[in-house]
Structure 1
Amino acid sequence: MKKTYLIAALLLLSLKAFSQGSPDYGAGMKFNLNEDGSKYLRVISWAQIWGQYNSDRPLDGNGNEQADLDFSVRRARVLMYAQINKDFLILTHFGLNSLNADSMSPTGKGDGSQLFLHDVWAQYSLGKDHALGGGLHYWNGISRLNNQSTLNIMTLDNQRQAWATLGLSDQFARHIGMYAKGAFGKFQYRVAINSASNSNLQATAVPVNGGAATYTGSRLLGSKEAGKTYSGYFEYGFLDAESNFLPYKVGTYLGTKKVFNVGAGFFSHPNGAVIANGSGVLSGEDVSVFGLDAFYDVPVGTQGAALTAYALYQNSDYGKNYRLGTTYETGSMIHGHVGYVIPGKSKTRFQPYISYDDRKIDALNDNATQLGIGANAFFSGHHSKLTLEYQTLKYATNKAVNTITLQAMIYL
């Protein structure tokens, strides 16, 4: 019997995987541990390789000009999950991000070239439609984009400001804590209570007297006052129901489903930010992010045409006049993108798209705008695709930054 299971597992590995838009793959790289498949281990692996042209790269650390063309491993990941019975599930997800010539190390032991845990969580089912879980998890709040899967993004990459807590209160968009998720008919929910990270992108920052806030509440005020975060995302599906078995939201179904969802979500970190008055006395400010969004993805006509559209309004309050680089700021944002799968009988499919967002920056009393124009070439759904995108970012009065990126992706 064990030999039979081993042979079946090898056949599954050689014949099956799963993704939107490709009928060539079944249930994925899945090891069935019993005859009816109710006990199993599934393995997913993917890599995204970038070649990027940018004629406006800043000088390097030695004051030298940098090359216009750069190559990187944008993502290299392995995700595994196992269902040992209908009540219990465990998931582990590890990999690396943005490995390039600057982050490589001579022997692969430097920080930039190391694998790290993205997710590791366990879950207990509360009947058919609800579950509780805990660990380092991705059951986030705010919006669909803050729960985006990187396997099936429609644009080249996710809208960066939508990952609104990445590196501020979490580890790469994952918090450690407890979550609950489920569905009441066409209404889905996910809520979580988590611990806030002490070692974040502002790990050594302190607020200037009378100046802007810093995201340092947990470190400077202590975990009793500023150590917990709260989040939730709630959505209603008017057409086909989406799976919420895993937390990762699909970017485009390529015409394989009819989906129209509206959602709303939040993130709250009491005393997450800190300000200092003119005398240097510290006080906490609550961090709050709210999102409202809509997702529409349907087949159009015949021969495989499909339309994908998404819109998001996000309001972010990180404290008084908060701003960190060109990524985070107290203010608001409107984002939208739309793509169209061109009809045709060929297995290779093409999907041109456009994205645009406008951000209001309270600290500068100014805006940032970003435009992306690109196209996907799907050779086997999301399992094998090329993406080419031109992007321009104008941040307040800064000179516009223009990039052209070609991405090659394989997903098994």
Structure 2
Amino acid sequence: MKSLLKRYMYFLLIAIFITSVLALPVSAQDIGVNVENGVKKEGVTVNRDNHSPTGYTATFVYKNETANSVQFYGQFQFANPGVDYPIENVPTYSPEEWTKEMFPLNMSTPYVKEMTKVEGTDFWTISMPLPSGGYPYSYIVDGVTIADPSNMPIANQDTGKQNLSMAYVPFDSKKQSFDYSYVLPKKGAKTGSVSFETYSTSGLLTTDQSLGIYLPHGYDPNRNEPYKVIYLSHGGGGNEADWFNTGSAANILDNLIAQKKTEPVIVVTMNNSVFGWDMAKITKNMMENIIPFMESNYHVSKDSNDRAFAGLSMGALTTTNIYYSNPTNFGYFGIFSGADARVDLSNYNLDDLRKPKLFVAAAWYDMAYHDVGFNSEINTLKFMSVLDANQIPYEFENVNGAHDWFTWPQLLNKFLTDVVWK
């Protein structure tokens, strides 16, 4: 009882201290805004900070002449490993409460903080210590959520805008335990490109759709060997920009290719939300429209062993449905955070289902991993039991995280590093 009381008093004093600090007026010099000389560091700045528990401090600066209130909204929660599931039992902590053993995760309650108006200026700001990784964030300006205008997200302007900007923080090996720096933009000029291309859905929809396409640095349409391709599906409510923005897929590829941990490959994303998650239509579109489009317009291999398909959440259900119906058209499948186990595999050719390499993965605090709090037929554990019952081999990975964009870049990194074309 005494230890609990001490713990309570400790956190109460910390909360009072933080509140008192935030209540102090902030000067322009405090945040690096030189009003007299017109130097304005808007957006996010991440600086090494010996006084920060993580070794780095991120400062966000937003300019608005008319706003009455600006809030900072983002995925800035942390947890300790090994807490018993269910997810509602997992205590989470703010950046100010972070300790070395913690890892980032996004729970149901968002991180929302009031930003401080800088005296005598139109600038609003907030600072916090952060460990390594990529952090999605937005501003809520007088009740309206917007992306950071000085750090706009990767988005397909023709089909849908993103409200989540990204802040990237390096790794400090002395102060941090978990290195997520593979999601950071690669330094130097040798980076790939991301573009959005229009293709026809051949009558499945009344309008053409878009693909997100990553081409590795030095892409050569005339090289002797065609490029291998990874097709990636987003989750519910997402679109073709998700994997390149909050998923940091291009950054991950740039870093792994530079480190020679994977070969230069093409990555293709699509918008499956437009089909209302009708798996038959999504599969038909994939096989009859997207793959032929890529083979007609890019120097890609037509060998099924040079193709991989992966997806998260609803995209994991998509991946399993494509796996069931077209197992020999891909060499690799990545099934992240969920799966469709509502199938009787006795109706399928098991020899064909054993041919591709399966990578099944989820996070420990992932609602689509456990068989509680989620549909009992579309979680990772159920899917693995179906594979086991039919003697279908697979690789499994369980990482720190939840059902979020901290988990899925981890799984993509593992898929690229340890599974595809290995």
TM over 0.5: same fold?
no
